[in-house]
Amino acid sequence: MRNILAASLVLVLGCSSEDSPTETPSSFCNKWAEAACSSETVSVCGAADVDQCRGSQIASCLDRVPTAGFSGSTAGACLEAVRSAYADADLTATELETVLRLGAPCDRLVAGPREEGELCSSRADCNAPDGFDCVFKGNEVMGTCQVPRPVGAGLDCSDDNAVCGAGFYCNDQNCIGGQSAGMACVTDRQCSVDTYCDSSHLCVDRLAVNSPCTLDAECATGLCYQFGTERVCTDRVRLSRTEPICDDLR
């Protein structure tokens, strides 16, 4: 009997994680708001109190989190990243990508409608919570849903699930180095890590911090951010009463 009770307790405790398959967008956004509204955030953004901050963040979260296919199986990692980002009210480019655009690890909250091997245009089409991603080959604009299998530089990447490391892309046969500035391209993934594919289909050097920009891909930091009336490449944002992010935190 004692062993049965102990086993039952383990099962109960094992189900208490924030990673819950039955998580709903509403319950998730309530937890998101709790994670985002740290005492530091409430103070520097000028919220009347924690409750006001949370109410504003819940509304903002519900506007951004997809409802169709939502899964709570990866919610815990996402919420911990949100909590860490807002803890000191000083957000790096990576943290901004997470909290503003559901970047990693918040990019696996939705189980897309496509099955393994079916065509996709982005991870959102695939069952991301179960580890699927949209894997592309060569210069194709459509990929297939696969559980990615990393492949080293120069090695065979012809299998549907094979993916090359940063700075390399699959030319349908092997993982080769990305193109340098001035070389022809069709997609960003064909360019080296410090370049991107512009509208003229050439790899172009990414822009430095504080450079005017229009797209995230143009920036070395991966983030083109709106400061007042201009958009510039940035690597961090320190929250303050005048910071636009704070509009959803008070």
Q: What string of H, E and C letters represents the secondary structure of the chain?
A: CHHHHHHHHHHHHHCCCCCCCCCCHHHHHHHHHHHHCCHHHHHHHCCCCHHHHHHHHHHHHHHHCCCCCECCCCHHHHHHHHHHHHCCCEEEHHHHHHHHHCCCCCCCCEECCCCCCCEECCHHHCEHHHCCEEECCCCCCCEEEECCEEECCCCECCCCCEEECCCEEECCCEEEECECCCCECCCHHHECCCEEECCCCEEEECECCCCECCCHHHECCCCEEEECCEEEECCEEECCCCCHHHHHCC
Closest CA to 67 of 126, 130, 123, 25: 25
User: What confidence score (pLDDT) does residue 229 get?
Assistant: 86
Q: Is residue 81 part of a domain?
A: yes
Under 8 Å between Cβ of 104 and 84: no
Under 8 Å between Cβ of 124 and 117: no
Q: Is residue 25 part of a domain?
A: yes
Q: Is residue 213 part of a domain?
A: no
What are the tens digits of pLDDT across the range 102-113? Answer: 999 999 999 999
Q: Is residue 220 part of a domain?
A: no
Which residues constitute the domain of residue 91?
A: 21-107
User: What confidence score (pLDDT) does residue 167 get?
Assistant: 87
Q: What pLDDT band is residue 138 in, cutting at 50, 70 and 90? A: confident
- In total, how many domains does the chain have? 1
Q: Is residue 131 part of a domain?
A: no
Q: What pLDDT band is residue 23 in, cutting at 50, 70 and 90? A: confident
Q: Is residue 29 part of a domain?
A: yes
* pLDDT greater than 50 at residue 209: yes
* pLDDT greater than 50 at residue 71: yes
Q: Is residue 139 part of a domain?
A: no
User: What confidence score (pLDDT) does residue 29 get?
Assistant: 97
Q: Is residue 76 part of a domain?
A: yes
16-37: average pLDDT: 82
